[in-house]
Amino acid sequence: MGTRTEVLVIGGGSTGCGVVRDLARRGVDVTLVEKGNLTNGTTGRMHGLLHSGGRYAVSDQASARECIEENRVLRDIAGHCVEETGGLFVKRPEDSEEYFQEKLQGCRDCDIPAEVLTGEEARAREPYLAHDVEKAIAVPDAAVDPFRLCVANAVDAENHGARIETHAEVTDLLVESGEIVGATVRHASGKGPREHGTPGEEEEIYADHVVNAAGAWAGRIGDFAGLDVAVRPSKGVMTVMNTRQVDTVVNRCRPKGDADIIVPHETACILGTTDEEVGDPEDYPEEEWEVDLVIDTLSELVPILQEARTIRSFWGVRPLYEPPGTGTQDPTDITRDYFTLDHAERDDVPGMTSIVGGKLTTYRMMAESITDHVCEKLGVSATCDTADVPLPGSEREGDIEAAMERFGLRSPVARRSADRLGSRTEDVLASCDPNPVVCSCEGVTRAEVRDAIEQAGTDLNAVRLRTRASMGNCQGGRCAHRMAAELHPEHDEESARAALDELRAERWKGQRHALWGEQLSQAMLNHALHGATLNEDGDPARTGASVEWDAFDDGAGADAEDAQGGSTAGGDAEGAHGD
Amino acid sequence: MSDAESPNDEFEPIEVFPENETPDLRPGADDCYKCSTCDTNCPVAEVDDDFPGPKFQGPEQWRLKRKEDTSVDDSISKCSNCMRCDSACPSDVPLSQMHNTARAEYVEEELSKTSLTYWRNRILANYRTSAFFASKVPRIANAAMNFGPARWAMDRVFGITSEREFPAFATETFREWWEREGGADGSRERARAARERRGEDADAEKKVAYFHGCYANYNTPEVGKAMVRVFEHFGYELVVPEQRCSGTPMFANGMLDDAERHAEVNVSSMGDLIEQGYDAIASCTSCSMALRQEYPELFDIEGIDELAENTWEALEYLRVQEDLSGELSAATVEDENLAQLAYHAPCHARNQGLDGQALELFADLAGVDAADVGDSCSGISGTYGWKSEKYDTSMKIGEEMFDHMEDVEGEVGMTECPTCAMQMEHGTGYEIRHPLEIVESALVS
């Protein structure tokens, strides 16, 4: 019984997606399983910095060199996931001059282009920088969209024959005569794209080799086979601002510390972060002081943040790892390097390799290294080409002119669509006419939403990650139901409602941490709209209560005959044309 | 949220932008919670389904924009700058500032400087320049401007609608009349006599600087004259300083550089008088709107805030400073032409909270029955309704007002705004008067 594959990859974060792409391109039959959406764990919960290496230029020059190398690779192969913002290391009067010089020298040692700017020059680039910022080092930091990046890797893998299963949780490892031979997987709603309402099922997947790329969850996977993978999860908060106060990545130039980075990301800015070790990667407190800390501390660099609107906060857990016996106390001192654990060598349990530690910027390099390792075991001699071949969507730039002129999108919507879709822009936009905007905060059209539904099934959170729909200032207040409406008629009403509830619950999770000022007004307005206009607090379609259809009149000019038919059509009133 | 000290209280972001660069209004999008009240109050969106509305033009577009690399959508040129969205917004989103700034960026970067549209808009926006020359030869100008074949050509080639009749230029401008009446010296004497007659302190400091605007000067000097006579009746000495266009038609056409040049003259001459204790008074509600709100939002000129704080609309000023309604309720208007008035409140008056003012004032005035024609927009919005491609939209917006005007007995309308007056006359054939003319008729004989 069970399914066979050559390699089973556990974990749909950047590492897992990178590995599955690399293996598939080398002709290996590979399956990836992920317990949530792609990027569900740590990858989807980061600030979106594509490191220039500047951050590690003093403390860890080996990592810094890897970063600048991969930074250049990703600009080439993942252009539609990267925004070339540039970055600044900013020095305030109280920050050490000595460290500033060390940082500058470190960048030069690692071949990271670095230019010193005066305070005035820095403010000419970023007008909202504090007036007492003394100087800055400009480096080629960039912003990367981790969702788009992982999805593009997964799509390329699928194009090369890989099988990608999301909402497929590993519940056990299959061990036969001391060797790991696969895993038992629980599909939340059947195999293939998500379909709410489909009953769950189990599947045993047998593989010649298993890659444990579960990040902060890698220890749990190890436990299934009695292996000790000592990941030390460390939590950090990220706070999302409603608009971009800066268009350049702004780092504080000091040795280490909480709350020292602002990353412009799409329409928003993400403030980060804190660093605190936690016991369980899924169950840890999300505390208000952490949010206050990042806003207050970063306001020293960009004072307008103190007054600016926050739309949500989220926490991520880093999958930090250090070899047994290192015993570092402070999680900020734990290395950001990655480690390949060959359990055959290390624990005398063949059949599985774990990859732990590391960071998004170098995901492709990590994937290449572990793929080399696995291919050697399998006797596959194909070489890696992931540094040279563009990801799907990044073959060429998105055509904004076409989006505007051929498809009639308004310029900012065309611009955003082309940025997100890259070389797929024309194909996706041509698929839908008329093509109204579904999410007006982020400029997402029906065509893009439907394209994402085709990939992700009824999972509206996966649609959100692909399109950014519902990620703007109303946090889905005005578009979540429109997104759900796009599920019809391919998916039934019950699935659409379940998907809508799930999306709203996810949106609420982050907004809970931003309920003051404007976002509180927003939440109250959303509450009123959903409760009153959409009747969500007493919708007979949900409660099963009977409706007195006779109490409705037939509308102006309706024929008596039409009345009967017209009044029973009820349910599907809320379309995509909202406002 | 936190009690940590804000380290840089004196930080002022706008000042660090180099001149002539579009200010970054993205932070203004923070105030929008997307309730769409602005969209439901937009008169253009109501009649044109292709217009995406103020929420898109303002907070959405600014939030989606990147600093330099996203062009402003061309739909911004469909906004008529009525500024109703400003008053409609429950959350203080700087909508018209966003629209004005985006429109200027659109004109600067997207509209070809050699296109007929650019020059048509520039000439319409610089109405004052045309009016200046026309007023030298008013009779010839009036004949030429409404000469059929010329109008046909202007419509076809230039895009200025031939549906409307150009307003007539006065044979004597307001300023020429003012000089003839003795200018500031004459006003000082008349005001002093009025104060004595009224039993007030003859040496009282009652001084105002009149911002007449272009239209009262070149086209309807009777409004300016009414203003002078009414204010002098209450004992005010007037001065009529050097002035250019307030900028309203230039904002609406994205010509912010032109507007700033004119604003510099206005702020300088009016500002000097403000320093000397004068208050600035406008009889046109779009002029007072520009000086009060748009100037400080769009320009950084020495004295601009003081001018904004000390600018008033004419009747608003008298209501606050004098017992205007008391005097009116004791007065009678004899002129039978003014017995029935169809009053339209201009959008820009509405924005200043003045929409109920004229009706309240005239409620107890014997001989006048003023009826409100509803709160719709007249649709002309200055130069907007003069553009061939906007004419139909303009008339569709105006329909509601025309209907209500027809319901009023008599054939005289009343409004504070010169272009609303044009539209009212164009849509109904009514004769249109300014509230100051009614007050003049009631109190000055």
- A443 chain-B contacts, CB cut-off 8 A: 60, 64
* B178 plus B303 within the same structural domain: yes
* B333 plus B306 within the same structural domain: no
Give the three-state DSSP class for B218: helix
- B34 chain-A contacts, CB cut-off 8 A: 440-441, 473-474, 477-478, 522, 525
Give the closest residue to A219 by CA, choosing from A100, A343, A76, A132.
A343
Q: pLDDT tens, position by position, for chain B (445 residues)?
A: 344 444 444 444 444 344 445 677 888 899 999 999 999 999 999 999 999 999 999 999 999 987 666 789 999 999 999 999 999 999 999 999 999 999 999 999 889 999 999 999 999 999 999 999 999 999 999 888 888 888 998 898 889 999 999 999 999 999 999 999 999 999 999 999 999 999 999 999 999 999 999 999 999 999 999 999 999 999 999 999 999 999 999 999 999 999 999 999 999 999 999 999 999 999 999 999 999 999 999 999 999 999 999 999 999 999 999 999 999 999 999 999 999 999 999 999 999 999 999 999 999 999 999 999 999 999 999 999 999 999 999 999 999 999 999 999 889 999 999 999 999 999 999 999 999 999 999 999 7
Residue B177: how many other CB atoms lie within 10 Å: 16
Q: What is the CATH number of the domain that holds B75?
A: 1.10.1060.10
* B241 plus B350 within the same structural domain: no
Residues 172-201 in B contacting A (C-alpha not used; CB under 8 Å): none
State whether residue B6 sits within 8 Å of chain A by CB: yes
Contacts of B187 (CB under 8 A, 6+ apart): B181, B228, B232, B237, B238, B239
Q: What is the CATH number of the domain that holds B387?
A: 3.40.50
Are B64 and A130 in contact (CB < 8 Å)?
Answer: no
Give the closest residue to A306 by CA, choosing from B6, B20, B299, B435.
B6
* B311 plus B183 within the same structural domain: yes
Beta bridge partners of A355: A340
State whether residue A11 sits within 8 Å of chain B by CB: no
Are A473 and B32 in contact (CB < 8 Å)?
Answer: yes
Q: Where are the alpha helices (DSSP H) in A118-174?
A: 119-125, 146-159
**Distance of CA A113 to CAs A70, A100, A140, A144, A535, Å?**
14, 15, 7, 19, 57
Are B30 and A243 in contact (CB < 8 Å)?
Answer: yes
- B75 chain-A contacts, CB cut-off 8 A: 410
Report the C-alpha gap between A61 and A59 in whole angstroms.
Answer: 6
Report the C-alpha gap between A74 and A365 in whole angstroms.
Answer: 11
Beta bridge partners of B342: B371, B413
State whether residue B49 sits within 8 Å of chain A by CB: no
State whether residue B65 sits within 8 Å of chain A by CB: yes
Q: For residue A565, is pLDDT > 70?
A: no
All structural domains of chain A: 3-42+147-230+336-378 (3.50.50.60), 82-142+233-317 (3.30.9.10), 400-539 (no CATH), 542-572 (no CATH)
- B66 chain-A contacts, CB cut-off 8 A: 244, 247, 415
> What is the chain B residue with the closest CA to A518?
B31
Answer yes or no: is B15 within a domain. Answer: no
> What is the chain B residue with the closest CA to A121?
B16
Residues 511-530 in A contacting B (C-alpha not used; CB under 8 Å): 516-518, 521-522, 525
Residue A255: how many other CB atoms lie within 10 Å: 14
State whether residue B19 sits within 8 Å of chain A by CB: no
Beta bridge partners of A320: A232
Answer yes or no: is B120 within a domain. Answer: no
* B186 plus B303 within the same structural domain: yes
Give the closest residue to A299 by CA, choosing from A269, A265, A335.
A269
Asked if omega into A273 is within 30° of 0 (cis), the reply is: yes
- B26 chain-A contacts, CB cut-off 8 A: 243-244
- B67 chain-A contacts, CB cut-off 8 A: 247
ipTM for the complex shown: 0.88
pTM of the prediction? 0.89
Report the C-alpha gap between B157 and A525 in whole angstroms.
Answer: 49
pLDDT in tens, A193-247: 888 888 999 999 999 999 999 999 999 999 999 999 988 889 999 999 999 999 9
Answer yes or no: is B71 within a domain. Answer: yes
> What is the chain A residue with the closest CA to B93?
A518
**Distance of CA B17 to CAs A87, A130, B12, B364, Å?**
20, 14, 10, 53
Domain that residue B76 falls in: 21-109
Beta bridge partners of A211: A9, A353
* B428 plus B289 within the same structural domain: no
State whether residue A478 sits within 8 Å of chain B by CB: yes
Structure tokens at A473: 């200032």
* B262 plus B351 within the same structural domain: no
Report the C-alpha gap between A456 and B407 in whole angstroms.
Answer: 60
Report the C-alpha gap between A386 and A22 in whole angstroms.
Answer: 6
Percent share of chain A, pLDDT over 70: 96
So what's the pLDDT on residue A324? Answer: 78
Q: Using CB atoms within 10 Å of the CB of residue A93, give its burial: 0 to 12 exposed, 13 to 18 middle, 19+ buried.
A: exposed
Sheet with B340-343, strands from edge to edge, namely B369-372, B340-343, B412-414, B431-433
From B6, B52, B74, residue closest to A303, measured CB to CB: B6
State whether residue A134 sits within 8 Å of chain B by CB: no
Report the C-alpha gap between A2 and B427 in whole angstroms.
Answer: 80
Q: For residue A534, is pLDDT > 50?
A: yes
Are B33 and A245 in contact (CB < 8 Å)?
Answer: no
Report the C-alpha gap between B238 and B187 in whole angstroms.
Answer: 6
Give the closest residue to B344 by CA, choosing from B293, B246, B420, B247.
B420
Structure tokens at B135: 């007023």
Report the C-alpha gap between A297 and B20 in whole angstroms.
Answer: 33
State whether residue A242 sits within 8 Å of chain B by CB: yes
Average pLDDT over residues A39-68: 93
Report the C-alpha gap between A100 and A90 in whole angstroms.
Answer: 9
Structure tokens at A514: 């931003």
Answer yes or no: is B128 within a domain. Answer: no
State whether residue B92 sits within 8 Å of chain A by CB: no
How much of chain A is helix, strand and coil, in % rounded to 5?
40, 20, 40
Residue A427: phi, psi to the nearest 5? Answer: -60, -45
State whether residue B277 sits within 8 Å of chain A by CB: no
> What is the chain A residue with the closest CA to B49?
A579
* B92 plus B25 within the same structural domain: yes
From A296, A415, A522, residue closest to B70, measured CB to CB: A415
Residue B177: phi, psi to the nearest 5? Answer: -60, -45
Structure tokens at A404: 């505007």
- B56 chain-A contacts, CB cut-off 8 A: 410, 440
B93 in Cβ contact with B59 (< 8 Å): yes
What letter represents residue A67's amino acid?
A: C
From A267, A440, A525, residue closest to B35, measured CB to CB: A525
A129 in Cβ contact with A302 (< 8 Å): yes
* B307 plus B403 within the same structural domain: no
* B378 plus B317 within the same structural domain: no
Answer yes or no: is B217 within a domain. Answer: yes
Structure tokens at A25: 């391109």
> What is the chain B residue with the closest CA to A295?
B2
From A308, A412, A474, residue closest to B34, measured CB to CB: A474
Residue B381: phi, psi to the nearest 5? Answer: 45, 55
Answer yes or no: is B59 within a domain. Answer: yes
* B305 plus B371 within the same structural domain: no
Which of B82, B109, B136 terminates a domain? The answer is: B109
- The alpha-carbon gap from B386 to the nearest alpha carbon of chain A, in Å, equals 26
| Average of per-residue pLDDT values in chain A | 92
* B350 plus B390 within the same structural domain: yes
Which of B321, B355, B380 terminates a domain? The answer is: B321
From B36, B60, B66, residue closest to A441, measured CB to CB: B60
Report the C-alpha gap between A244 and A467 in whole angstroms.
Answer: 19
pLDDT in tens, A153-201: 999 999 999 999 999 999 999 999 999 999 999 999 888 888 888 899 9
Which of B109, B137, B154 terminates a domain? The answer is: B109
Mutant choice from A90, A126, A131 vs B, greatest count of B C-beta within 10 A = A131
From B8, B36, B71, residue closest to A130, measured CB to CB: B8
So what's the pLDDT on residue B17? Answer: 40
Answer yes or no: is B1 within a domain. Answer: no
So what's the pLDDT on residue B7? Answer: 42
Report the C-alpha gap between B377 and B375 in whole angstroms.
Answer: 7
Report the C-alpha gap between A151 and A157 in whole angstroms.
Answer: 10
B398 in Cβ contact with B380 (< 8 Å): yes
Q: Which helix (H) or strand (E) holds B71?
A: none
Domains held by chain B: number = 3
State whether residue A408 sits within 8 Å of chain B by CB: no
Q: Do strands B369-372 and B311-313 pair parallel, antiparallel, or not at all (unpaired)?
A: unpaired
Answer yes or no: is B126 within a domain. Answer: no
